Every structure is written in structure tokens, then in C-alpha cells.
Amino acid sequence: MKKFTVTAGNAGPKVRSDCEITLELKERGGIEIDLTSKVKALYGDSITSLCREVLTFFKIRNARVTVTDSGALPFVIAARIEAAVRRLKDTDLEFLPELIKENMYSTTGDRFRFSRLYLPGNTPSMMLNAGLHSADGIILDLEDSVAPEKKDEARILVRNALRQVDFRGAERMVRINQGEAGLKDLQYVVSHNVNLILVPKCELPDHVKIVDSEISAIRKRTGIKYPVFLMPIIESALGIENSTDIARASENIVALAIGLEDFTADLGVPRTAEGKESLYARSRLVIAAKAAGVQPIDSVFSDVSDMEALRQNVMNSKALGFEGMGCIHPRQVAVINQGFAPDESEIEKSVKIVAAYEEARKRGDGVAAVGSKMIDQPVVLRAQKTISLARKLGRMPKDSSS
């Protein structure tokens, strides 16, 4: 027998910026709304009229709705009602809040991905200010941070967040689930101006290819023109062994990430701060990524209180060749951004190298030197890369060569 009463969303003393909707279908009597909210005096009317609008949209005419609100914004309330409705009946309709103009941007394959901040996909309070912390990317996570029975409501919330939350120029990423669930996730996010999809637990090139072709199908169906990039995450021994092929599995791949919690579990060893147990895997992944011309991205650092240890970790990571790292707390962003960007002495040295090289070339001299050190072509190339990075980051004037 079909259920007639369902609940979606979250309520409780610690819940903020969210609401819980209980929806009970009735035979008659119209829409009855029972609202509890600490912002009732200010937004009570706006909340009840939104409830009515969404229910009418889904052609529900008789129902009793109980809203327990803790300051949810309209896109959250709409997502929670839609989730409740979808638990009661199958529908192809989607109640889409406006796609704000601030979010109508695309990204490019070669942009920096030093920091990418994970946000649990079913926790609206963490989404609202996420864009303020200057992460290069924001990940709305549908995978590990969302409980299995909450996946359906998280998809709708993430879709609405992609349309409504201003992430202030961060690359807007979604981490989908594995397998079938992941393909379903795509239906909810691809056509809402998502910039990049993280594909978790990749072990075979096919894992990426399936996602890639599903995205293509959605693109064709919806007619979207902007690029949707892919970042496979490798989290097992088999994945590491296949990383070279995974990195080349689609031309939409722009980065390859490693997930060390699952990887060390797969090896059956504890994850240490020093990271000896994953040294080979990390180096292997860096080489696979670089060989394929994509960015190697390191795993998150889980001690959010120890910024000094994080700084050390970033230094090691950069030394191995990684070009970015995940963040699980906004306070990690600055440390990571700073760590992966070239520092003053690197920039200064690079400027000297390039200047010496230009000088030698003008003289028609094949050999350039800084001080007593000879510099050859690869050194010059790296220096040029550093300078262009520094310019893009605003650490050097754009048009001067020194």
C-alpha cells in the first residue's frame, strides 16, 4: 500500500538554515499549513505562500503540511517540499528556483585547483557562506557525507543550491555517488550550470566513461553548451594500478585526485601523518596525471585544528608534484592556497632565470647563467610557468617582465 504521510528535511536543536516538512495527502479540505518557525513574525507569510506555490505546482490540492523551520532560505524550503512530494508520487516535474546571474559562469580546464572545499550535500547551513572563503572549487557532496536514506532529498537540495547560492567564482563541483546512484545524481545536477563532476572510487577507465557518456546524453537532451569537466578520484590499489588509463578515459578529465582514507583501508594499513604508506601511490598518481596532461590533486588533511601540520603536509604534497588538495574546513583554504602558489623567493628566482635567458638569447649566446649556475631549457620552462602562475594570481604585474 502506498504511504500517504512522508517527512523530508531536518529539524532539531542543532539544525540551522534548514526545515523539516511533513506532508500528509488528504481527500479534501484544501491545503492546511502548520508552521513552527523562529522567523515566523518576519517570514511566516512568505513561507506559507511558498509552500502553497510548490504544492500547486506539483498538482497537490488537498494536504496537511507541517513545517518545522529553523531559518531555511526559500530554495531550501522548496527543495524539502519537493523531496516530500517525490516520496509520495512519481513526477517528471521539477520546481526550479531561478538560476541567479552570479552563477552563470563556466570554468576552463587549465584553471587552478589548489583548494576545493567539501560541503555535505544535505546541510544547507554550510552552503550559504561557503563561497566567502576563497576556495578555488566548492564541492557539493552527494556521496559519503549523505546518509543513504537522504540521497533523494540531497539531490534536490544540491540542484537548488547550484541555481541559488552565490559561490563567488569558485568552480562549482558535485561529487556523485558510485554506479547507478551516481548516474541518477547526474540527472539532477548537470543541466544546472555545474562546472565539474567528481567521480569517486574509480578503478577502471569504464567507471569514468559511463559517467561521461551519461553527461553527453544529458547535454544533448537539454541543449546545454557549457563544459562539464571530470575529476576521477582514485581510492584503491586497483585504481592506482589503472591510473594511467583512467586519466585518459575522457577528454573532459581535467584533474585526477587521490582519496587516502579509502586507499589505506584497501591496503589494510593505518593512515599516518607522515604518509609513508601512500608514498608510492601518490607518486604513481602524479605521474599518471602529468603524463595525461591533467592536474594531480592530493587527498584531504583531516586534522582541522592543526594548521601547522597542514602547512607541512601541503609542502610535502607540492614537492611530490601535486597541484592542489581537498579541504574539509574553510580555515584550511588559505593555508592550502598559499602553499601551492609560488612564494616570493620562487618568483624572484624565476624572474632572474628568464631575464638571464632572454639576455643570452639577445647576445646570440646558447648558454645562460644565473651567478655561477648554468641554466638549461627545462629550468627556463619551469621559471616561465612559475611567472605565468604568479601573474594569474596577481602576485606580479601582468605586463612587466621583471
Partner 1 sequence: MAVKTVINAAGRSVPLEINGKPVIPFKGVGKHRPVGGKYSPPIPVCSDFPDNGNKVVRSLEEALKLCGLRNGMTISTHHHLRDGDLINNSIFEIASAMGVKDLVWFPSASFPCNDPVIKYLDNGTINRIEGSMNGPLGRYVSDGKMKGTAVLRSHGGRVQAIQDGEVKIDIAVLAAPSADSFGNARGTGGNSSCGVIGYAKADSMYASKVIVITDNLVDMPCFPMEIEGNYVDYVVVVDKIGIPEKIVSGTTEITKSPDRLLIAELTASFLEKSGILKDGVTMQAGAGGTSLAIAVFVHQILKQKGWKSKFGFGGSTKYMVKMLEEGQMGYILDAQAFDLDAVKSVETNPNHVPYPVFNAYNYHSKGNLTSMMDIMILGATEVDLNFNGNVVTHSDGYLLHGIGGWQNCLHARNVILPLPLFRDRIPVIVDEVTTLCGPGELIDVIITERGIAINPLRKDLIKSIKGSGLPLKTIKELKDEAERICGKPKKAQFEDKIVAAIKWVDGTVIDVVRKIKTK
Distance between CA atoms of 17 and 34, rounded to whole angstroms? Answer: 18
Which residue in 16, 111, 219, 271 binds partner 1 (CB under 8 A)?
16
Partners of residue 255 on adjacent β-strands: 295
Provide the minimum distance between the beta carbon of 164 and partner 1 in the complex, in angstroms, as a whole number.
Answer: 9
The residue among 45 and 365 lying less far from partner 1, judged by its C-beta, is 45
Provide the minimum distance between the beta carbon of 18 and partner 1 in the complex, in angstroms, as a whole number.
Answer: 10
Under DSSP, is residue 276 helix (H, G, I), strand (E, B) or coil?
A: helix
Q: What is the DSSP letter of 321?
A: T
The residue among 40 and 392 lying less far from partner 1, judged by its C-beta, is 40
Count of residues of this chain found to bind partner 1 when the rule CB under 8 A is applied: 23
Neighbours of 115 (CB within 10 A): 28
- Type of residue at 13: P
Characterise 28 by phi-psi region: left (phi > 0), alpha (psi -120 to 50), beta (else): beta
The residue among 333 and 389 lying less far from partner 1, judged by its C-beta, is 333
Which residue in 200, 259, 275, 330 binds partner 1 (CB under 8 A)?
330
Stretch that binds partner 1, among 70-78, 142-150, 223-231, 351-359 (CB under 8 A): 70-78
Provide the minimum distance between the beta carbon of 44 and partner 1 in the complex, in angstroms, as a whole number.
Answer: 8
Distance between CA atoms of 216 and 307, rounded to whole angstroms? Answer: 41
Which residue in 9, 10, 11, 17 binds partner 1 (CB under 8 A)?
17
Which residue in 89, 331, 363, 382 binds partner 1 (CB under 8 A)?
331
Q: Does 356 bind partner 1 (CB under 8 A)?
A: no
Distance between CA atoms of 110 and 200, rounded to whole angstroms? Answer: 21
- 139 touches 118 (CB < 8 A): yes
Q: Does 99 bind partner 1 (CB under 8 A)?
A: no
Q: Does 73 bind partner 1 (CB under 8 A)?
A: yes
Which residue pairs from 44-52 have beta carbons closer than 8 angstroms and sit at least 24 positions apart in sequence?
A: 46/74, 47/77, 50/74, 50/77, 50/78, 50/81, 51/77, 51/81
Quick one: cell of 282? 601518490
Which residue in 29, 30, 36, 39 binds partner 1 (CB under 8 A)?
39
Neighbours of 142 (CB within 10 A): 28
Provide the minimum distance between the beta carbon of 292 and partner 1 in the complex, in angstroms, as a whole number.
Answer: 34
**90-100 per-residue burial string, b: 16 or more CB within 10 A, e: under 16:** eeeebbbbeee
The residue among 42 and 279 lying less far from partner 1, judged by its C-beta, is 42
Q: Does 74 bind partner 1 (CB under 8 A)?
A: yes
Provide the minimum distance between the beta carbon of 119 and partner 1 in the complex, in angstroms, as a whole number.
Answer: 12
Characterise 47 by phi-psi region: left (phi > 0), alpha (psi -120 to 50), beta (else): alpha
The residue among 74 and 109 lying less far from partner 1, judged by its C-beta, is 74
DSSP H stretches of helix in 179-330: 179-189, 205-222, 237-241, 243-247, 260-267, 279-292, 307-320
The residue among 43 and 229 lying less far from partner 1, judged by its C-beta, is 43
The residue among 124 and 296 lying less far from partner 1, judged by its C-beta, is 124
Q: Does 41 bind partner 1 (CB under 8 A)?
A: yes
Quick one: cell of 168? 563567488
The residue among 48 and 350 lying less far from partner 1, judged by its C-beta, is 48
Residues within window 108-137 making contact with partner 1, judged by CB under 8 A: 128-129, 132-133
Which residue ranges make up the site for partner 1 (CB under 8 A)?
16-17, 38-46, 70-74, 128-129, 132-133, 329-331
